[in-house]
Chains A and B, each alone.
Chain A
């Protein structure tokens, strides 16, 4: 299968001479959820900004759906890779939610019918029917974040990039983001998450790329990455609290890394049944 996003040996050096990413290789396939982890300044944002052409590689090549980012316009690439910025105030500015939703499609000069169709899809996906006439600035911060997300989704890109989606969100907000990520995936999108939220990645147990000092240092399923103490320490990451609890429970299957409360209980149940079986047999 052809990867949808293909990053081939890419380096980026900023005009001030700072190397932000160095020799990164990364293939992302259809229907994948990929989390990109790393401390601030590790190069994760720089890497992702290459996906919609905001940055062009200094060395190497990136293709999105077969198109090289070097030759394509940012507006074209942005219609394939939707990038939701961390702070919705950087993206939203129109007086009505409905106008926000139409904005991206209008920039692409789509026909009225086309715009309506795409916007309606986004409205349905985000359940925004009752908010269309609201001013985004009258909404609370998590709602505004969702409007920003919906306005990118209305362009119906194949890939959706979420930059720190759970920052500053309460528990309910985080659950909502989790739900949305799963739904995007169900609808056939690729989701790229730039995040520090280990609990979110734990719940998704998705593919996890770790950036450290401009280089990709890990790329595997979350439970594998989280179990690698060397990598975690190097990148200054701590697994979810539940993981450290399970490390202290000898009766659990310790070859496995637990990332969620549910998986722990599941395992306890299975273990228990096994033991009961063994006990009754003997």
Chain B
């Protein structure tokens, strides 16, 4: 509840955090090696079984919605306006033409965001923050750094809650938080100034607490949780190496000999993101209308 971590009993959850960190690095690397929308789409699809294995399909899809917003924006705006495009693919509203080169560029960029996002979500949701911290310490990362990372996870929900209180406290002083855009920008000060002060005070207090818990003591520290690299991890790492080799082979020896990135693929993936986006908006609107109608019925 106080972090993005979702405790589940799965193969992915049981991997050592270090293995998963290597996995994230591998995905980031791959998303650059596979410099082609079709291959990236395939790669994204091949990551999905891992999400299923981690039993995180629903929370994954929810967090992906936000990244999809970026994808829609990039693919639409770049597809039309990016100057590298020359070959027209299709036209909407008369005059606005999507061009092949720009669409390839935009798709690569968007899919990369989705691919890296998938790996990051998978890592964060399946790794207990304390395990991550202790794994980092095993990689000789200083204790204080690991602690800062860990306490960041801890403080985010606290700050979120404090932000809500500050917002209410300012509304109680007749601040209109639902005003015009200019008004909203102006409101940032009464909300962020107290929030900043409160967070600062909390962190400051925590520093005294840490001092009293011997945090600055020299010498070895121990921790309750332990992480071990086992056979599962080696198997997973081996899989990564095999996949990576295959990717490089594909890119170096086979590039140019086939082309999966057709106009159709680009168009359909663009329309696909639009469709999902439209669905999200529809859902949002329906919820609002329901709330409104419900409110009317009560009154």
Q: Do chains A and B touch in the complex (CB under 8 A)?
A: yes
| Chain A residues engaging chain B, CB cutoff 8 angstroms | 49, 52, 54, 56-57, 59, 61, 68, 70-71, 73-75, 78-79, 82-85, 87, 89-93, 103-105, 107-108, 137, 151-152, 155
Q: Which of B186-212 contact A (CB under 8 A)?
A: 189-190, 193-194, 197-198, 201
Q: Which 8 A-B pairs have the closest CB atoms?
A: A83-B172, A90-B169, A93-B193, A107-B174, A75-B174, A91-B169, A104-B173, A85-B169
Q: Does B298 contact A (CB under 8 A)?
A: yes
Q: Which of B164-181 contact A (CB under 8 A)?
A: 165-166, 168-178
Residue of A68, A87, A104 touching B174 (CB-CB under 8 A): A104
- A82: chain B residues within 8 A (beta carbon): 172
CA–CA, A107 and B298, complex, Å:
30
Instruction: Please name the residue on chain B nearest to A58 by beta carbon.
Output: B298
CA–CA, A85 and B166, complex, Å:
9
Q: Does B219 contact A (CB under 8 A)?
A: no
- B165: chain A residues within 8 A (beta carbon): 85, 90
Instruction: Please name the residue on chain B nearest to A84 by beta carbon.
Output: B172
A selection of 25 A-B contacts at a CB cut-off of 8 Å is: A54-B171, A54-B172, A59-B298, A61-B299, A68-B299, A71-B299, A73-B178, A74-B176, A74-B177, A75-B171, A75-B174, A75-B176, A78-B174, A79-B174, A83-B169, A83-B172, A85-B168, A89-B197, A89-B201, A91-B169, A91-B172, A91-B194, A104-B174, A108-B174, A137-B197
* A interface SS class: mixed
Instruction: Please name the residue on chain B nearest to A83 by beta carbon.
Output: B172
Instruction: Please name the residue on chain B nearest to A100 by beta carbon.
Output: B173
Instruction: Please name the residue on chain A nearest to B296 by beta carbon.
Output: A70
CA–CA, A57 and B198, complex, Å:
30
Residue of A49, A61, A68, A90 touching B194 (CB-CB under 8 A): A90
- Interface size on B, as a range, is 20 to 34
Instruction: Please name the residue on chain A nearest to B295 by beta carbon.
Output: A70
Q: Is the CB of A85 within 8 A of B172?
A: yes
- A52: chain B residues within 8 A (beta carbon): 171-172
Residue of A57, A74, A137 touching B171 (CB-CB under 8 A): A74
Shortest A7–chain B CB gap in Å is 15
CA–CA, A162 and B114, complex, Å:
49
CA–CA, A107 and B170, complex, Å:
10
- B295: chain A residues within 8 A (beta carbon): 56, 70
Instruction: Please name the residue on chain A nearest to B176 by beta carbon.
Output: A75
- A152: chain B residues within 8 A (beta carbon): 172-173
CA–CA, A85 and B173, complex, Å:
10
CA–CA, A52 and B288, complex, Å:
23
State whether A155 and B194 are in contact (beta carbons under 8 Å apart), knowing that A85-B165, A89-B201 are contacts in the complex.
no
Shortest A17–chain B CB gap in Å is 14
Q: Is the CB of A90 within 8 A of B173?
A: no
Q: Is the CB of A103 within 8 A of B298?
A: no
